[in-house]
Structure 1
């Protein structure tokens, strides 16, 4: 901000230096948080994408994931959200990032000792750490850029973040190309552990909201940062009917991971093909993030129309992809009934192509879904404090849904049951979200909203949209 209220590190002894202006630029911060997530949750995704985190004993990994998601659900909204408003994103990232290398280390230990309790405990700690990381990430991604660029910010983040899963999976593919054990090598876990540690340390370079030069970004004054005000803000934000209609959408955001990773990928393919599929899955996430980002920032449409177009896009592609998944699951169920599993190699031609393409489309749809959720969060407010609460709610309900699904997977429920649950929850929650999608406003800036009410309509996509003093009439 240009009012002299910036805080943070001083570069070259001056806060107005060229280097400081570059460092505090909104897009530099978006790139930085993207690379942090590339190293931490991106590498974690590379592990989980292998099916059972690369272990033959998938039950231990599934129970660790249940512990992780349960811990995230318990802390993201009611613990981490208020803490974020007091200490800011940098401290939250440093508090949470260390749990990622710990989890990779627990899997490395499991390869030698079969200590499942350590893996599950590390998963629970990672759940708390992930709450800190994702609440900070969501607040940065949805408020550190102007409203007209939020779709692009989400797309850029999603591309870089999922590049982590893609690179990690390709590395695992190379390391395990000749593996016959069904579990990944120690070298895989060590490499991912190192990258996760680097990502954690990069959190020290994140700027607080008051240092970022975005006119619409609403930082909370220091004298309003107290627990009483934070509690009131949290209740007021979550109790809004427009947010309540989004909660099922949030709940369904991760319910399909356990089925897709442990059944579609984990029970169908051999270890090296699972690694290759993991790479394709995360690359598809990158492309999916780009596609939905273009839709959400399409310059010829106002924000209200973009919200509705994105909803229709999610519903149509969801029905098509899950419909293809139903055909796959009928075929897969017959194979599992005959005791055939983890046998298909990517070189098997016509047998492997269909399931591999389905897994790729599942990855793209995950990007569509989560990007849309984040965009709806960003459309509610330009305040990091408010979006931290909303992201906390998102991660809480997302993790609760994921924990339920992973527990169902760990209990060995039929694959078709898991598939039907995932498809039904996704399409049903999209329908419930319709009122919130229809309620998206042209802008979240209260000053422009007041001028719009007083002076009539204006174009939110015009070059002067980010300048509250200039309002264009139609």
Structure 2
């Protein structure tokens, strides 16, 4: 059957990671879950990762932010749409082909930045941003489902941390390239043309890495359990997607999703307005290290078995939200100092540089902690790959809608205080809605939307050493 059904969470809900019956066995590295995470990380490294390296410069490395922000807003509209329906596409064509297609768009965007910087070709920059947004929307849908659906339950936090590392090391390396090519430019303006060429070459490698991904039915977990997956037609997948996207828990989390990347347009514009080119290049190199630190810190905490799942969920959420609100207070203070100084900040600017630079790094750490926690929360709501693709696609779609609004606001020379006020207001607004879902994790029987499967449970047909499914695994599979 392919109808969606809702079933209670396995076990008591107080420590769901203990309810899965583990059947450890030797797996092939090429089919292992960690290899799949690395593949997704490498694709992200080459495509959106290099895009993020350019974004870390502010305005894609251009001299002024306004048109770049307008194209970014258009791109995020398409990203939101394709992330929203991405789960339907993945259910039809499979994650491997979806990952391959989605790795092509950022190459076009990189080329459009090059041509705009060289010849002022603005129409192609708009087209490149739209195409990049569409393909990135599909990528966010499929990568989120792989990261939350492929790994074994007791290592999901660490796999999320590894994913954060892989996707964040790309802007670090891209930033190092950018810094090396622009280290002598101590004035404001745009980056060199050679910068774009180097980044585009790396972007072109993404589709080749995408072909290394294993299909869900061929993935081998150490606990012997299969990845829940089956293809669905467009009509059936659309019905399933609607059931997932309109579920009460997903709707309650949407305000948090919407605000999670809302800050990015403001920070990027601030860099463009108040920093020299070489300082922006330094930001492109250093800021992603905040991502890595934040992702691994929260990922390790979320896998820490010495405290209950419920406490991990609540403590991480409260800590992250307080941290984010405190950062915006700091951002307001720094913004006032930048307005008053009327100077372009260079890395030789002393305390003003150190305060501004550290704010940007810590903002990325806080954002990645939020991201990792959100994916962990969504991973607690289903074990089914298709459902997770719908959920993570919805998450990314709402995020992208938030970014579209944020970049739309900063596509003109609007007041910085509007952006600061909206960010603080959106965080505060999202708290009570998200808390309704957070307080259920590990405490009550969470309803999980899943599919019935008619395929065999734990036997990996391509592995001669695969074990026979244990009785406990069979029983758990029947219950799902």
TM-score by length of 1: 0.86
- 2:221 is equivalent to residue 220 of structure 1: no
Aligned to 2:374: 373
- 2:297 is equivalent to residue 291 of structure 1: yes
Report the Cα distance in structure 2 between the residues aligned to 1:124 and 1:430, rounded to whole angstroms.
32
Q: Is the 8 A contact 2:150 2:227 kept in 1?
A: no
Deviation of the 1:216 alpha carbon: 4.9
Report the Cα distance in structure 2 between the residues aligned to 1:124 and 1:272, rounded to whole angstroms.
28
Aligned to 1:405: 406
Report the Cα distance in structure 1 between the residues aligned to 2:235 and 2:115, rounded to whole angstroms.
44
Q: Is the 8 A contact 2:346 2:353 kept in 1?
A: yes
Report the Cα distance in structure 2 between the residues aligned to 1:210 and 1:468, rounded to whole angstroms.
16
Q: Pick from 258, 271, 287: which aligns with 1:281?
A: 287
Aligned to 1:384: 385
Q: Pick from 18, 42, 45: which aligns with 2:52?
A: 45
Aligned to 1:57: 64
Q: For 1:183, what is the secondary structure of its paired residue? A: coil
Q: What are the equivalent positions in structure 2 for 1:347-358 lying under 5 Å apart?
A: 347-358=348-359
- 2:107 is equivalent to residue 101 of structure 1: yes
Residue by residue over 1:12-64, the C-alpha shift from the partner in whole angstroms, topping out at 9 and shown as x without a partner, is xxxxxx99821110011111111111111111011011011111132221112
**Structure 1 residues 96, 470: closer, same or farther in 2, change over 3 A?**
closer
Deviation of the 1:334 alpha carbon: 2.8
Aligned to 2:252: 245
Residue by residue over 1:64-85, the C-alpha shift from the partner in whole angstroms, topping out at 9 and shown as x without a partner, is 211110001122213x210101
Deviation of the 1:423 alpha carbon: 2.0
Report the Cα distance in structure 2 between the residues aligned to 1:285 and 1:168, rounded to whole angstroms.
14
Q: Pick from 143, 168, 172: which aligns with 2:174?
A: 168
Deviation of the 1:333 alpha carbon: 3.0
- 2:308 is equivalent to residue 302 of structure 1: yes
Q: Is the 8 A contact 2:45 2:166 kept in 1?
A: yes
Q: For 1:375, what is the secondary structure of its paired residue? A: helix
Q: What are the equivalent positions in structure 2 for 1:267-278 lying under 5 Å apart?
A: 267-278=273-284
Q: For 2:205, what is the secondary structure of its paired residue? A: helix
Q: Is the 8 A contact 2:63 2:272 kept in 1?
A: no
Report the Cα distance in structure 1 between the residues aligned to 2:472 and 2:267, rounded to whole angstroms.
45
**Structure 2 runs not aligned, ≥5 long:** 1-24, 449-470
Report the Cα distance in structure 1 between the residues aligned to 2:402 and 2:329, rounded to whole angstroms.
22
Q: Is the 8 A contact 2:66 2:413 kept in 1?
A: no
Residue by residue over 1:362-420, the C-alpha shift from the partner in whole angstroms, topping out at 9 and shown as x without a partner, is 11111111111111111111111001101111111111110000010012210111111
**Structure 1 runs not aligned, ≥5 long:** 1-17, 447-465
Report the Cα distance in structure 2 between the residues aligned to 1:98 and 1:470, rounded to whole angstroms.
42
- 2:427 is equivalent to residue 426 of structure 1: yes
**Structure 1 residues 184, 380: closer, same or farther in 2, change over 3 A?**
same
Aligned to 2:214: 207
Deviation of the 1:427 alpha carbon: 3.1
Q: For 1:347, what is the secondary structure of its paired residue? A: coil
Q: For 2:306, what is the secondary structure of its paired residue? A: coil
Q: Is the 8 A contact 1:27 1:145 kept in 2?
A: yes
Aligned to 1:234: 241
Residue by residue over 1:319-349, the C-alpha shift from the partner in whole angstroms, topping out at 9 and shown as x without a partner, is 22222112112222334xxxx35x1111222
Higher mean C-alpha deviation, range 136-145 or range 313-322: 313-322
Q: For 1:255, what is the secondary structure of its paired residue? A: coil
Residue by residue over 1:401-452, the C-alpha shift from the partner in whole angstroms, topping out at 9 and shown as x without a partner, is 1000001001221011111111221232133200011122479897xxxxxx
Q: Is the 8 A contact 2:31 2:218 kept in 1?
A: yes
- 2:187 is equivalent to residue 186 of structure 1: no
Report the Cα distance in structure 2 between the residues aligned to 1:146 and 1:444, rounded to whole angstroms.
19
Aligned to 1:359: 360
Aligned to 2:459: none
Of the two structures, which has the highest relative contact order with CA contacts closer than 8 Å and spacing of 6 or more?
2
Residue by residue over 1:295-327, the C-alpha shift from the partner in whole angstroms, topping out at 9 and shown as x without a partner, is 211121232221111111112211222221121
**Structure 1 residues 106, 381: closer, same or farther in 2, change over 3 A?**
same
Alignment root-mean-square deviation, CA: 2.4
**Structure 1 residues 467, 363: closer, same or farther in 2, change over 3 A?**
farther
Q: Pick from 318, 329, 338: which aligns with 1:323?
A: 329
TM-score by length of 2: 0.85
Aligned to 2:93: 87
